[in-house]
């Protein structure tokens, strides 16, 4: 019997991370099979690994995925990155030596740089799965201050490395069509050619499926969360940090509550964000009783968001966010929940225009918030199936896997 084609998948994110559960394993379990044998090299965060390794190992073993990992180090900024890089590089070389790897798949910039090294060492073709404009995100997110000579040199170095990877990769994957246009212009400037596909952050729409949660279930869940049946629930899903604008989202909730007096702001986020949210709420004079803040495992997220009427996602609209595809968008739409979002984030403006599944906020002002709230009765009147259809048309995991499988098949030849 012919052995499957062996593929090396390199990820800076861990399989045991929440992101690994939602954006890595769902793809790999469907790609692994008779045609492709997947070897994963990843960096795992020790505390998260200890908490989730049994569940992750179960999935990996069930789908015959071969998994090698090292623990992520983050004690010393800069130096830890180098240590992590060499650890994952040596693991990748070891996997290549032990197996007949046909090609490699780098998830993000640093893993793809390892793929590039493997290409030099073993003539191994590779996929550059960009996941956004990483170096620009570091600057715009406040991690790299370009006034600091060290960060200025680091940024310039990574932008040069970016062009090398774009021109050397056998295939490129972007998250948005906006990003594809920008990447094509970069490649043209370098007088090289590349094959580019767009695969947004897809959602497991069998997991995020509104049909599994009827009205009775939603009411019972509201009771557990101490949310009144009559309340309109606006939901935020995900982590917080330099990108997600909690102050502006609270400002929006204040405006939302003027029109929908009986309302609750449900925030589903990691527990460590709770203190930050309450501090912002006090600053904005938002009544804590009007908020419900919970943390959740990936498996329980659909049951929590089933209580929501609408969701909100405000992201700082910088240049790098043109390449961003928030995972939560497909998940929320799959649950039949429309979304309020600001403009200039990936392909969301096009999505809202073509599928009428969300409300755009043009700027972060009371007037813009009021205009958005005033249009909500219209979107509340639409059936949940409309929003779910938008998810299936744009964020289907089945479609994403189909594109990846096509790319894999081309490289296998």
Domain housing 127: 5-202+396-412
Q: ∠ at Cα 169 (323, 99), nearest 5°?
A: 120
What percentage of the chain exceeds 70 in pLDDT? 99
The average pLDDT across 318-345 equals: 95
The average pLDDT across 349-356 equals: 94
CA–CA separation, 369 vs 362, rounded Å? 9
User: Residue 251's pLDDT is what?
Assistant: 97
Same domain, 145 and 274: no
Question: pLDDT of 45-96, one tens digit each?
Answer: 998 899 889 999 999 999 999 999 999 988 776 688 889 999 999 999 999 9
CA–CA separation, 4 vs 70, rounded Å? 26
Is the pLDDT higher at 192 or at 366? 366
User: Residue 21's pLDDT is what?
Assistant: 84
Same domain, 249 and 365: yes
Same domain, 270 and 356: yes
CA–CA separation, 143 vs 289, rounded Å? 34
- Which structure tokens are listed for 236? 């935020």
The average pLDDT across 329-348 equals: 96
Same domain, 400 and 389: no
User: In this structure, what are the phi and psi dihedrals at residue 202, rounded to the nearest 5 degrees?
Assistant: -80, 165
User: Residue 78's pLDDT is what?
Assistant: 67
User: Residue 257's pLDDT is what?
Assistant: 96
User: Residue 339's pLDDT is what?
Assistant: 97
User: Residue 77's pLDDT is what?
Assistant: 67
Q: Are 37 and 8 in contact (CB under 8 A)?
A: no
User: Residue 249's pLDDT is what?
Assistant: 97
Q: What residue ranges in 290-369 does DSSP mark as E strands?
A: 291-294, 310-313, 339-342, 358-361
The average pLDDT across 246-253 equals: 97
Same domain, 225 and 245: yes
Same domain, 47 and 152: yes
What percentage of the chain exceeds 90 in pLDDT? 87
Same domain, 167 and 118: yes
**If DSSP codes are grouped into helix, strand and coil, which group holds residue 28?**
helix
Question: pLDDT of 10-24, one tens digit each?
Answer: 999 999 998 888 899
User: Residue 1's pLDDT is what?
Assistant: 61
Same domain, 46 and 131: yes
The average pLDDT across 137-146 equals: 93
CATH code at position 362: 3.40.50.2000
Question: How many of the other CB atoms lie within 10 Å of CB of 48?
Answer: 17
Burial readout 363-391 (b: 16 or more C-beta within 10 A, e: otherwise): ebeeebbeebbeebeebeeeeeeebbebb
Same domain, 275 and 313: yes
* DSSP label at residue 194: -
| pLDDT grade for 299, boundaries at 50, 70 and 90 | confident
Is the pLDDT score of 363 beyond 90? yes
| Angle, helix 79-98 to helix 109-122, in steps of 10 degrees | 40
Q: Are 5 and 36 in contact (CB under 8 A)?
A: yes
Same domain, 283 and 344: yes
Q: How far apart are the first and last CA of the chain?
A: 19
Any idea which residue has 């990769």 for tokens?
A: 169
User: Residue 75's pLDDT is what?
Assistant: 74
- Which structure tokens are listed for 39? 């070897």
Q: Are 16 and 49 in contact (CB under 8 A)?
A: yes
Same domain, 132 and 270: no
Whether the CA torsion 400, 401, 406, 412 is positive or negative: it is positive
| pLDDT grade for 104, boundaries at 50, 70 and 90 | very high
Number of structural domains (the chain) is 2
User: Residue 3's pLDDT is what?
Assistant: 84
User: Residue 73's pLDDT is what?
Assistant: 87
* DSSP label at residue 261: S
Within 8 A by CB and 6+ apart from 307, the residues are: 218, 221, 222, 225, 227, 233, 235, 266
Same domain, 237 and 382: yes
- Which structure tokens are listed for 241? 């940090």
CA–CA separation, 61 vs 63, rounded Å? 5
């Amino acid at each position: 019997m012919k052995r499957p084609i062996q593929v090396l998948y390199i990820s800076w994110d861990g399989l045991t991370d929440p992101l690994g559960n939602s954006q890595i394993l769902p793809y790999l379990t469907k790609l692994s099979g008779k045609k492709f044998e997947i070897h994963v090299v990843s960096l795992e965060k020790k505390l998260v690994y200890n908490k989730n390794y049994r569940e992750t190992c179960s999935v990996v073993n069930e789908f015959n995925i071969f998994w090698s990992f090292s623990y992520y180090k983050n004690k010393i900024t800069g130096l830890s990155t180098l240590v992590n890089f060499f650890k994952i590089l040596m693991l990748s070389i070891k996997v290549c030596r032990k197996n007949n790897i046909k090609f490699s798949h780098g998830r993000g910039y640093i893993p793809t740089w390892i793929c590039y090294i493997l290409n030099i060492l073993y003539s191994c073709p590779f996929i550059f799965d960009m996941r956004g404009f990483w170096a620009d995100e570091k600057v715009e997110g406040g991690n790299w201050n370009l006034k600091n000579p060290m960060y200025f040199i680091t940024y310039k170095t990574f932008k040069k490395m970016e062009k090398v990877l774009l021109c050397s990769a056998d295939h490129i994957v972007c998250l948005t069509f906006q990003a594809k246009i920008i990447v094509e212009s970069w490649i043209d400037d370098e007088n090289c050619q590349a094959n580019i596909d767009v695969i947004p952050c897809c959602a497991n729409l069998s997991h995020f499926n509104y049909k599994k949660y009827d009205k009775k279930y939603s009411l019972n869940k509201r009771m557990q969360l101490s949310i009144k049946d009559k309340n309109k629930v606006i939901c935020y899903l995900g982590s917080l940090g330099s990108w997600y604008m909690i102050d502006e989202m609270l400002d929006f909730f204040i405006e939302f509550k003027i029109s929908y007096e009986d309302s609750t702001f449900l925030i589903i986020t990691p527990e460590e964000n709770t203190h930050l949210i309450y501090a912002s709420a006090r600053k904005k004079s938002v009544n804590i009783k009007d908020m419900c803040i919970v943390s959740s495992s990936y498996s329980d997220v659909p049951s929590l968001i089933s209580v929501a009427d609408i969701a909100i996602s405000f992201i700082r609209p910088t240049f790098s966010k043109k390449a961003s595809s928030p995972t939560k968008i497909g998940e929320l739409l799959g649950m039949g929940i429309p979304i309020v979002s600001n403009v200039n984030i990936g392909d969301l403006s096009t999505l809202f225009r073509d599928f009428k599944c969300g409300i755009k906020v043009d700027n972060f002002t009371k007037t813009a918030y009021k205009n958005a709230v005033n249009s909500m009765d219209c979107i509340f009147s639409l059936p949940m199936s409309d929003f779910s259809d938008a998810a299936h048309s744009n964020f289907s995991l089945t479609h994403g896997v189909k594109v990846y499988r096509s790319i894999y098949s081309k490289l296998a030849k």
